[in-house]
A and B are shown apart, each in its own frame.
Chain A
C-alpha cells in the first residue's frame, strides 16, 4: 500500500503548498494596496509629470480593478512574463535569473560545507553527553543561535579586516554576467557567515535525536552484546537518529532562503535577497512582488521536501495507512 499512501501524502502536501503560495501571492498583492494614496504618485513622487504617472499606471495595470490587477499579474507570471523593473526599465526575468543563480550557489555551498560539520559535531556532543565537549559545543550553538545574521556577518568582517587586512574583500562585488566562482575570494565571508548561522539548528537536532537513540533499549542491548563502539554508533544508532536531522536540514535550507536576505545585503552580494532589499528601498513594486513570490515558492518547495524526506526515512510513518 505504501506507494499509493505516499502518493496521496505527496499530493496533499503539494495542494497545501499551492494553497500557501496562493495566499502568499494574495498577501504580497494586498500589501501593495496599502500604499497610501495613488500608487503611481507614491512611487514617482509628487513632482512627477502627469504623462509619466499615466505611463506608470498603465504599466502597473492600475487602471483596472484590484482583482483584475491581481489576475493580470498572476497570468503574466504563469506565462513567464515578470514585467519590467521600474528603476532600470529592463525585464525582471533577465535580472532574476542571475540573482537566483548567485543565491543558489551560496546556499548550496553553505549546505555542503556546514551540514557535515554540524552533523559530526552533533554526534560528538551526543556521545560525550553532559561532558566538557558537549557543554562547550552546546554553549557555542546557543550563543550563535541568538545572534542576528548581520551581527555575525559584520563581526566576521571586523575580525578579518583587523587580523589580515585586504586579504578578504569586505564587499562581495560580483560583476553582472559573471559567476562568483570566477572570483572565489568574494564568497569566503558570506559562506562563513551562513555556515555559522546554520550550524546551531542542525547541531541541536542531531545531538538531541542521537541522545534519545543512545538511551534506548536496543542500543543498550547491542552494547551489552559487546558491539564495538564505532559500529554501535554508525550502524546501530545513526539510522534511527538521522530522520529528524534530515528534516532539520531541509528546514534549514528553507530558512536559508529567508536568511540570505540580510547576509547578502551585508556583503553587497548580488543575490535574490539583496535584490529584495534594494527593490524595497527604491519601491520597485513589480520587482518586490516577483522576488518575494519566487522566494516564497522556493521556501514552500523545500518545506515539502522536508516533509517527504521525513516520511520516507521513518518506517513507522512510511508504512502507516494514509
Chain B
C-alpha cells in the first residue's frame, strides 16, 4: 500500500487533506525559485497590471511579475521559521526537562522567569527588540526563538514531571548515570510525543510571527520577494490587481492551517484510545 493510504487510514480525511496542503505549499516554496518565469525583482510591466498570458498573476506595485515573486518569496521566511522553531523548541525543552529533573532552586528560577516572560505580549516583545537592534534576518530568528522558549519549557517540564519518578529513572540514578544520559535516554524518549506536538504548534506560531513582522516591514526588506512583505507593498492596489495580495495570503493561510491540523491530529493520536485502534503495518 502507498504511504498516503496508510496515512489516510491512521489520520482520516482531515489529516490527509492537511498533509496534502502542507506538501503542496512546500512544493511551491522549494521548487518555486527554479520555476519563476521572470526575475522577481525586475520591473516588466505597468504598475498593478491585471493577469494576462505570460503574466498569469499580473504585476505588482512596481510593475514586477507577481507569479515570479510568489514563487521566489516563500523559502527565505520559511527557512527562518524552521530555524527559529528548532532553536526555540530545542533550548526551551532542554530548560524545561532540566528543571523537572533537577527540581529545587533551579526549577523555581527557570519557571518564575518563564512566568514573567509570558506576562508580556510576544509580538510586542519581538517588535521592541527588532526596533532597536535593526532588522537583520538572523536577529529575527533569534528573537522568535527566544520568544518561544518560556512556553516550551513550561509544557515540557509538565510532561517530564510525570516521568522523573518512574522506576527506570530511579534505577538509572541509583547506578550513578550522569544527568545528561538520564535526560537523553530515559526522559526524552518518553516525552517525544509532547515534543513533536509542541514543535508543530511552535512552527505554526513561528510562521505567523515572522510573516507578521515581514508584513509590518520590520523583517524582510525591499526589494526582496517575500510573502508578508508582498502583502504589505500591494495592499494599496487591491482594487486594481488583487493577485499580489491574494496569492501570498492564500499560501500562508493554507500552510498554517495544514500544519496546525497535522499537529492537532498528532496530539490526538497520542491518546491510547485512538492509537490502539490501528496496528502499524495492517495496511
Contacts and interface: CB of A to CB of B under 8 A. Distances in A.
Nearest to A21: B119
B259 A146 contact: yes
Q: How large is the interface on A (under 10, 10 to 19, 20 to 34, 35 or more residues)?
A: 35 or more
B129 A280 contact: no
B238 A170 contact: yes
B246 A158 contact: yes
Q: How large is the interface on B (under 10, 10 to 19, 20 to 34, 35 or more residues)?
A: 35 or more
Q: Specify the main secondary structure of chain A where it touches its partner.
A: helix
A154 B249 contact: yes
Interface in B202-227: 204, 207-209, 211-212, 215-218
A267 B132 CA distance: 25
A72 interface: no
A143 B256 CA distance: 8
Contacts of A276: 124, 127
A5 interface: no
B2 interface: no
Contacts of A147: 208, 253, 256-257
B215 A262 contact: yes
A165 interface: yes
Contacts of B123: 258, 261-262
A35 B132 contact: yes
A151 B116 contact: no
Given A155-B249, A161-B239, A283 B131 contact: yes
A295 B119 CA distance: 11
B256 A148 contact: yes
Interface in A144-184: 145-151, 154-155, 157-158, 161-162, 165, 170
A28 interface: yes
Contacts of B264: 142
A32 interface: yes
Nearest to B239: A161
B139 to A, nearest CB: 10
B33 interface: no
Interface in B115-154: 115-116, 119-125, 127-134
Interface stretch (A118-126, A214-222, A296-304): A296-304
Nearest to A17: B119
B235 to A, nearest CB: 7
B225 to A, nearest CB: 18
Nearest to B231: A154
A262 B124 contact: no
Interface of A: 17, 19-20, 23-24, 27-28, 31-32, 34-36, 139, 142-143, 145-151, 154-155, 157-158, 161-162, 165, 170, 255, 257-259, 261-262, 265-266, 276-277, 280-281, 283, 288, 292, 295-296, 299-300, 303
Q: Which A-B residue pairs are the 7 nearest by beta carbons? A: A258-B121, A146-B260, A148-B208, A280-B131, A146-B256, A20-B119, A143-B257
